[in-house]
Amino acid sequence: MVLDVEFAAASDASAAFYIHLHFKTILMTHPKIAQPDHPIMEVLASRWSPYVFSDRPVPVADLQAIFEAARWAASSYNEQPWRFLVATKTNQTQWEAMLSCLVDANQAWAKTAPVLAIGCTTLHFALNGKPNAMAAHDLGLASGNLSVQATARGLAVHQMAGILPDRIRSQYKLPDGTQAVTALAIGYAAEIDSLSPEARRSETTPRTRRPLTEFVFEGRWGQAAKITGP
Ligand SMILES: Cc1cc2nc3c(=O)[nH]c(=O)nc-3n(C[C@H](O)[C@H](O)[C@H](O)COP(=O)(O)O)c2cc1C
């Protein structure tokens, strides 16, 4: 089991990080590891969304841990509006039923994931029945926690907006006041050596992000905050 992940150096094109196992430390490199402009936690830098998963099954303890991490996310009024439906390949019928709830383009790659989940929200506050405008936001926080906890355990998560909400509603009998929002493919990213040339391209293309100057503003919209400067 992966206990800890720690950066070594990020001097060349593919960042390096160490995974500490029980008794040994392995230096790992992967082109998907972020090259941050400012230092961030290794577990954040090494999270990415694979399109190809290994067929290695995910231990139940790891699944428990990642949903536990989701459980402890912050939420507006502590409403905890997230709900997850989950299906693992250990129950092929249930897993195939969940795969069929994704749009075709997502089914095409998510079929390699040993675990699928659907992220749902409750739409009203339990306390007063008022609409919870933060429900999707808070599902996002929970899914973020889940993804980071998964990364810390050597797993990967690929979230999807491309789902079939009506199919999900009828298949899982979603009650009124709930909504399916996302799906999540969960598993171990396939080893680069095992990939076809085409897949190797997508699975090794470095991840990119807009710089802080384009989304941290000061004074007025669009004006880069001073803290983003050198
Ligand atoms: C809410 C959400 C919806 C997404 N929907 C899809 C999707 O339907 N299909 C897909 O292939 N990727 C989807 N993605 C994955 C993003 O494309 C991916 O996170 C983004 O390109 C950044 O890559 P990274 O996660 O590897 O850093 C989604 C991600 C999020 C957070």
Read off the CATH number of the domain in which 126 is found: 3.40.109.10
pLDDT value at 14 more than 80: no
* Cα 194 to ligand 1 centre (Å): 23
Q: For 139-179, how does the pLDDT look when each residue is reduced to its tens digit (9 = 90+)?
A: 999 999 999 999 999 999 999 999 999 999 999 999 999 99
* Cα 107 to ligand 1 centre (Å): 14
- 87 within domain boundaries: yes
* Cα 49 to ligand 1 centre (Å): 7
- 106 within domain boundaries: yes
What value does the mean pLDDT take over residues 201-220? 97
- 67 within domain boundaries: yes
Is residue 160 in contact with ligand 1, taking CB distance under 6 Å? Answer: yes
The answer to whether 44 touches 148, Cβ cutoff 8 Å, is: yes
- 35 within domain boundaries: no
pLDDT value at 2 more than 70: no
Smallest CA separation from ligand 1 atom 19, residue: 49
- 221 within domain boundaries: no
Strand partners, 87: 116
Give the residue with greater pLDDT, 8 vs 185.
185
Lateral strand order in the sheet of 25-29: 4-7, 16-20, 25-29
Work out the percent of the chain whose per-residue pLDDT is above 90: 87
Q: How many domains, in total, are found in the chain?
A: 1
Calculate the CA 25 to chain-centre distance. 25
Q: What band does 28 get if pLDDT is binned at 50, 70 and 90?
A: low
Owning domain of residue 154: 49-198
The answer to whether 192 touches 29, Cβ cutoff 8 Å, is: no
What value does the mean pLDDT take over residues 9-36? 57
Is residue 142 in contact with ligand 1, taking CB distance under 6 Å? Answer: no
Q: For 48-95, how does the pLDDT look when each residue is reduced to its tens digit (9 = 90+)?
A: 999 999 999 999 999 999 999 999 999 999 999 999 999 999 999 999
Is residue 7 in contact with ligand 1, taking CB distance under 6 Å? Answer: no
Give the atom of ligand 1 at the shortest distance from the alpha carbon of 103: 8
